[in-house]
Amino acid sequence: EEQKLVGAAGKDTDKPGHLYTFDMETGAKLSDAPTGCKELNGISFNPTDGVLWGWDQTQGLVKIEGDPKTCSAPVVKGEKGLEVEALTWDNAGETLYFAYNDHNGASNGDANATHSLGKYEATTGVAEWNVCNIDTPEIEALEVLNDGTLLVGYHENGRQLVKMVNTTDCSVNTDGSLQGLTALTDIEGLAVCLPEAASCPSIAGTGTWKVMAADTSCSTALPGDFLPLDAYSFSIVSLL
C-alpha cells in the first residue's frame, strides 16, 4: 500500500490554491496543479471515502474532487471576520474540526484575535462555529492522532506540539512522547501516518515525525524545493 503526502498552497505564492504531492522519504515535490481555489488554509482526507476537503478562505469549506482535482462550491460558507487556519477529520470520518481566528473586534492582527474550535458534522451537513474558545496562541495546524485526540501546532515561536484532549472545552496538555519536538517555529501543517502504515518516514532525532514548517529556521528538515511553495497544510492519503 502506497501513501502520499499532499500539500496545499495559501495566497503568498505565484501558485495560490495549488495542490502538491511530495515523496514521503525525500520531501521532493512530485506534482503540482491548480484547484480553482485561491487560498487553501487547510486540507484533510475523509478516512472513510478518501475525499479531500479543504478550507478556501475566499469561499469556505469545499470538497476537492475529480481529475484534475477541483474545488467545489462551498459546502459551508465562510463568515465575515473568521479566518480558518487548520482543519482535520476525526478517524471515523464523521466530524471535521477546524481552528480559526475571530477578527471581529480584534484591533491588531491574528495574535489579538479570539482563537476558537469549530466542527462540521458529515451526517447532518451542519457546521457549529464556536464549540469552544482556545486559550492558547494562534493555531495553524491540526491533525487527529490514532487514539482520536487532536494534535495542535502553533504559529508562535518556540512552542511545542500539544494534544487537545477535550474537544468540548478545548483543554490541552503536553505529551511526553512529543518532547523531542519542542521549540518549533510557525508550524503550518501536520500529517500523521495512517494506522495501517507499516512504517513512517522519519528524520533522525524525531522518531516518526517529519518536521515541516514555514519558518526558515527549520530549513534543515525541509529537503527539495519545499520552502518556496507557501504550503499551509498537509494530509496523507493511501493509494491502494
Element (H, E) at 226: none
> How confident is the model over 178-197, as a mean pLDDT?
57
Nearest partner of 103 among 84, 124, 121, 125, judged by Cα: 84
Q: Is the pLDDT of residue 101 over 70?
A: yes
Q: Distance between CA atoms of 141 and 86, rounded to whole angstroms?
A: 5
Rounded percentage of the chain residues whose pLDDT exceeds 70: 61
CA gyration radius for the chain?
Answer: 16
Spatial contact of 55 and 74, defined as CB atoms under 8 Å apart:
no
Is the pTM of the predicted complex or chain greater than 0.85? Answer: no
DSSP 8-state symbol, 157: T
Q: Is the dihedral of CA 7, 188, 148, 96 positive or negative?
A: negative
More confident residue, 219 or 200: 200
More confident residue, 182 or 18: 18
Q: Is the pLDDT of residue 187 over 90?
A: no
Q: Distance between CA atoms of 128 and 126, rounded to whole angstroms?
A: 7
The cell numbers describing 79, all together, are: 463568515
DSSP structure string for 19-30: EEEE-TTT--EE
Q: Is the pLDDT of residue 231 over 60?
A: no
Spatial contact of 169 and 157, defined as CB atoms under 8 Å apart:
no
Cα–Cα separations (whole angstroms), residue 47 to 73, 109, 174: 21, 34, 26
Contact partners, residue 150, CB within 8 Å, separation at least 6: 88, 97, 142, 143, 144, 163, 164, 167
Q: Is the pLDDT of residue 212 over 50?
A: no
Q: What share of the chain is helix, strand, coil (3-state, %, to 5)?
A: 10, 40, 50
Q: Is the pLDDT of residue 221 over 50?
A: no
What's the half-sphere exposure (Cβ side, CA atoms, 13 Å) at 127? 20
The cell numbers describing 33, all together, are: 496543479
Element (H, E) at 82: strand 82-89
Q: Is the pLDDT of residue 64 over 80?
A: yes
Give alpha helix (H) positions in the chain.
none
> How confident is the model over 145-172, as a mean pLDDT?
75
Residue 238: its pLDDT value, please?
Answer: 45
Q: In 3-state terms, what secondary structure has residue 219?
A: helix
> How confident is the model over 200-211, as a mean pLDDT?
40
More confident residue, 107 or 170: 170
Residue 174: its pLDDT value, please?
Answer: 61
Chain-centroid distance of CA 55 in Å reads 10
Tens digits of residue pLDDT in 77-93: 998 888 898 899 998 99
The cell numbers describing 23, all together, are: 515523496
Least confident of 42-46, 149-153, 197-201: 197-201
